[in-house]
Structure 1
Amino acid sequence: MKLALDPFDRSVLGIALCLAAIIAGLLLLGDHVGAAVLGVAPTAADRPAVTTAIRITFAQPMDTASVEAHFAIEPPVGGHNHWDGNTFVFQPNRPLLPNTPYTLSLTADTLSLTGQRTLQSVHWIISPR
């Protein structure tokens, strides 16, 4: 016995097959958005005080150890890290040197708590006043 589908049933079946193909594609391709950095402070355009804290704000909760391991400041400066919600804060132990360019970076592959990675490195330069 042959099962005949009316036009409505064929439409529903076609939509279901399209949705299944889209879901399969998403599962195969994976996440291309990654963990997002919403902003940094101070920015390259700022002339921050020598006692400024460095802040990186993320769109989602991050793996704190991963962020701390991927953060760098050049020339090297001692300091301590803490978190304010989704914002990583680096507070230097001593005032930064005035009129000295500091290169700040967060390298790619920093992990969020859900396992997403930052897809691009973030680099910026500040020169305290």
Structure 2
Amino acid sequence: MGEGDTFVNAVIGAVATALLSGFVPLTPLLGGCIAGYFEGGERDDGVRVGLLSGVVGLAISLVFFIIVFVFLAAFLAFVPEALGLFGAMGLLVLVVGTVMTVAYFLGLSALGGWLGNYVRYDTTIGD
């Protein structure tokens, strides 16, 4: 954990995102902010580490989506009548939900990385 340890700082931000996600809204923003604050450097370094933090946090969340998908596929395999409208709607919700989740995690994490870098260098909080 220190200035320039990009992967370590990104993992710290992703762990913060995962641990606080049940209690605090917009946790990718907070995780990216923590990673950007620890990273230091220029603003683009903060954005880069925030984005990497979002990718790691998204990978952690992807496990949940895979589990949901496996259970949905198993249900549809045992109940063939549900393959009609329910199967199509389930697939549509899964695709749209995945795209929105990716945008949520990566966008807020990158913004958080920028904000963390801003707090470190341009405010009195970072002193």
- What TM-score do you get using the length of structure 1 for normalisation? 0.27
- Larger strand share, 1 or 2: 1
Structure with the greater relative contact order (CA < 8 A, sep ≥ 6): 1 or 2?
2
- Larger helix share, 1 or 2: 2
- Rg larger in structure: 1
- What TM-score do you get using the length of structure 2 for normalisation? 0.28
